[in-house]
Amino acid sequence: MKIAFVGDSFCADAGQGTWPYLVKQKLNATSIWKGIQGANQYSILADAKKVLLLKPDLIIFTHTDPYRLANRHREPLGARPCDQVYSRLLKETKNNLFNLMKSTKNNIWVAGHMYYEHLMEYGYHELTHPTLVVECYRICTEANIKQVHLFSFSTKELEFRDYNWDVSLPKSYSKQSLARISYDYQTPDNHKQDWVEPGWQTLPNHMNYEGNKVVSEIVLGML
């Protein structure tokens, strides 16, 4: 059995003890794809189209929020990252915009920052987001591929919104977002895992290993 995990950072870590790892082990499967940190929803759709060519038996999605910017460079352009990178680049170039924009990659982040600062229209992103999510479902259904849909965020949890962008799909879990689940599992529990290096603390997929187990049980229950 071949499983693809397609989405954002909530399925980007597939190491031992993570929920993708536990699902894969339980189903005696191999994984052929994993999520990408900072992925926008259009990139998630584009990844799904690529994954379908690999003939997976199952695709598990973690759909992100509407506010990350689709871009052909596949950079993780979000409001906070753009602001942070822009501020760092300004310091490095001593506020010299001419020097800052000599680099193509710098220009990408500057453009992202300027978009959020001067052009961003939240309602537009919220209205178009469900179309991208539903398209993920449609292309998998058309290809007769089993699918599970998890949502990294939900409308009711985020402050800025003009429209409800939550999507209801078959084989989807919407009782809680992955972000909401992760809030309850933020205390590192590495000391409980004998396979983790002592003293090393991490939160794979934004939650501790107990939280990862909870998500794996949700997914396996849906299957």
Could you give all domains of the chain from N- to C-terminal order, each with its CATH number? Answer: 2-67+122-222 (3.40.50.1110), 79-119 (no CATH)
Over the chain (223 residues), what is each successive 10-residue block's mean pLDDT? 98 96 97 97 98 98 97 95 92 76 85 96 96 98 98 89 94 96 95 82 93 98 96
Q: Provide DSSP, 143-189.
A: TT-EEEEEES--GGGSS--SS------TTEE-SS-HHHHHHTT-S--
The pTM assigned to this predicted structure is 0.94
What is the per-residue pLDDT for 77? 97
What is the per-residue pLDDT for 149? 98
